[in-house]
Amino acid sequence: MSTNTRELYTFERMIEQVSEHFGISIANILFPGKHPQRVKARSVAAYLAVKRLGMDGTTVGRRMGVGQSTISRAVTREEKIMRELDISFP
């Protein structure tokens, strides 16, 4: 399995877990918009992608359809929320 294939699988698996946790579809997580539940799920996914999967913000932004600066802000604010939600991901 190539690095890109492994990354895709891991990113997809993480998005699925976030989708299940928040009870919203993957499409809703990846679809732009400012609905509070969607924003929170997208922010958690961005945090996990950067902090747990080691992806860079530009790549995550491209995969999620948002800019790198959006990913950076999400990662910065999500650390506290992640502790509160108790989401675990390998």
**pLDDT tens figures, 21-34:** 899 999 999 888 88
Domains of the chain: 3-85 (1.10.1750.10)
* Percent of the chain topping pLDDT 70: 83
| Residue 20, pLDDT score | 93
What is the C-alpha to C-alpha distance for residues 69 and 42, in angstroms, rounded to an integer?
14
**pLDDT tens figures, 13-61:** 999 999 998 999 999 998 888 889 998 899 999 999 998 899 999 999 9
pLDDT band at 1 (very low <50, low <70, confident <90, very high): very low
| Residue 49, pLDDT score | 93
Closest CA to 36 of 24, 47, 26, 48: 24
Helix 57-64 to helix 68-85 angle, to the nearest 10 degrees? 90
pTM for this prediction: 0.80
In the predicted model, is pLDDT for residue 2 greater than 50?
Answer: no
Beta-carbon neighbour count of residue 35 at 10 Å?
12
What is the C-alpha to C-alpha distance for residues 89 and 31, in angstroms, rounded to an integer?
22
